[in-house]
Chains A and B, each alone.
Chain A
Amino acid sequence: MKRHLLSAADLSRDDAELVLTTADEMRSLADRPIKKLPALRGRTVVNLFFEDSTRTRISFEAAAKRLSADVINFSAKGSSLSKGESLKDTALTLEAMGADAVVVRHGSSGAPHLLAHSGWVRSSVVNAGDGTHEHPTQALLDAFTMWKHLGESRPGGLEGRKVAIVGDVLHSRVARSNALLLRTLGAEVTLVAPPTLLPVGIEGWPVETSYDLDSVLPKADAVMMLRVQRERMHGGFFPTAREYSRRYGLDGKRMAMLQDHTIVMHPGPMVRGMEITADVADSDRSVIVEQVTNGVAVRMAVLYLLLGGSEPSIGETE
């Protein structure tokens, strides 16, 4: 039975398209006077956040509440996690409280997988970002945003579209999930980064790579800028921030090289002046704020498809 969403690779083409079309219906809810649907009435969703996050946690919380689920927020700070409780004991507590879904963010890659397959909990597990591994719902909201702008909101709409993902790929769970999902949806992904910020084994990813941003930009339909994750860096990956910005930052001059329909994306949080300049982030091409709005709709779709029926309609098969 399918129960979890741990990796963007868990989603087949049909699953991913189903999430997108469902999210499209969920998005129209925002225009209605009563922004609530009854689909998850009586179900409990636990947001289990071992790592700091504002937008992802709020987004999941809003999504679950709009579907009428009960939401319990559980963050590492101010809970027994900070007193040294293990993941296992936390999981057993959640199980005893009757959680139907656990949305988990963890600093260690693979923690959601452990939670899902340990037998500690019977609930569905949704990966909300684990270490430098994956962040599947972010990939889904990015794909949804591209699908609305470039894919005419129809099945197969992203087929053959060119997406450039630029920056700190090495530390980015967003890049990995996006590469996997966009490939599933038929788009062509090019990862652009300095050699030091591309992971080992990148040859095995279903992507092209480039060290030269200026040669990639004119062909791209969507450009996704990644934050340089200095908190995960222990060493010199590039000489100076200024040199990084000059070679891999998106500024007004580079933006002028883009095709007319090309959109600029960023998963947030942005560092203005580093990977993206303020005039680009605030330009008409930027869909960064829209990505946040779409995040709620996409997470509603995921929660509905995992929990709404007697068994999930998407995700990993056990």
Chain B
Amino acid sequence: MCAQPAPEPASDGRVVLDARDITRALTRISHEILERNRGAGDLVLLGIPSRGVPLAQRIAERMAAVEGYDVPVGSVDVTMYRDDLRMKPARALLPTQIPAGGIDGKVVVLVDDVLFSGRTIRAALDALNDIGRPKAVRLAVLVDRGHRELPIRADFVGKNLPTSLVERVRVTLAGVDDTDAVTIQGVVGQS
């Protein structure tokens, strides 16, 4: 939820994960999910827009390479389930695409770029509630930056990144942005 839609030039931030680090982290997460789930059966990957969706697709590609099986990938938009919906002007909705097989009885892995307060994930759990009843819901994130405000944790983490509350973590992904990178930026005038 702290990945900003329109990143400023990354030059003013400190790069903590470069493209190769991100590739390695996603490969490890893919294997961990498969190991934990004992294969790819029943799995459904749902990315949280916007940057959770390409991450989910990349994880699915790696799983297909390992297992020779196409794991269904979709997206779930949490905009209308956010607890701060009333505090800002109405926001544009992002795509929700549930794979044809649905999520009933499946193991749903939610995929997002940054885990911060946990409020986005809470909203995603509410959204899933209206879509179906999965057998289990797991959470995979590229970066866990701490500062949780709700009792939520990730099952699969690309990198634990201790941060201060004034810092901003930015994830850029090729396809959506120019390059793959995770950067930390201090508040203007402080870093």
Residues of chain A whose beta carbon lies under 8 Å from any beta carbon of chain B: 18, 21-22, 25-26, 28, 32-34, 36-39, 304-313
Contacts and interface: CB of A to CB of B under 8 A. Distances in A.
19 contacts: A22-B92, A22-B93, A25-B93, A25-B94, A28-B96, A32-B98, A32-B131, A37-B130, A38-B80, A39-B80, A304-B93, A305-B90, A306-B90, A307-B90, A308-B80, A309-B89, A311-B89, A312-B89, A313-B92
A120 to B, nearest CB: 24
A18 B86 contact: no
A30 to B, nearest CB: 13
A37 B81 CA distance: 8
A39 B77 CA distance: 13
Contact of B89 (A26, A37, A310): A310
Provide the main secondary structure of the chain B interface.
Answer: loop
A309 B85 contact: yes
Contacts of A311: 89-90
Interface string B78-102: 0011000111111111111110000
A313 B89 contact: yes
Given A28-B96, A38-B80, A38-B81, A309 B130 contact: no
A307 to B, nearest CB: 7
A21 B96 CA distance: 12
B92 A308 contact: no
Contacts of A312: 89-90
A310 B80 contact: no
A213 B131 CA distance: 48
B126 interface: yes
Given A33-B132, A37-B130, A313 B90 contact: yes
Contacts of B77: 25
Contacts of B86: 309-310
B81 to A, nearest CB: 6
B92 A18 contact: yes
Given A25-B77, A33-B132, A39 B92 contact: no
Nearest to A18: B92
Contacts of A34: 130-131
Interface in B36-88: 77, 80-81, 85-88
B90 A304 contact: yes
Contacts of A305: 90
B73 to A, nearest CB: 16
Given A309-B89, A313-B90, A37 B131 contact: no
A36 B129 CA distance: 11
Contacts of A313: 89-92
Given A25-B77, A38-B80, A308 B130 contact: no
B105 to A, nearest CB: 13
B89 A32 contact: no
A34 B104 CA distance: 13
Given A309-B85, A309-B88, A313-B89, 14 more contacts: A18-B92, A21-B93, A25-B93, A33-B131, A34-B131, A37-B130, A308-B80, A308-B85, A309-B91, A310-B86, A310-B88, A310-B89, A311-B89, A313-B91
B101 to A, nearest CB: 13
A31 B6 CA distance: 32
A304 B85 CA distance: 11
Contacts of B98: 32
Contacts of A310: 86-89
A306 B90 CA distance: 7
Contacts of A39: 80, 85
B80 A37 contact: yes
B104 to A, nearest CB: 9
Nearest to A67: B80
A25 B91 CA distance: 13
Nearest to B80: A39
B126 A38 contact: yes
Contacts of A38: 80-81, 126
A254 to B, nearest CB: 39
B152 to A, nearest CB: 19
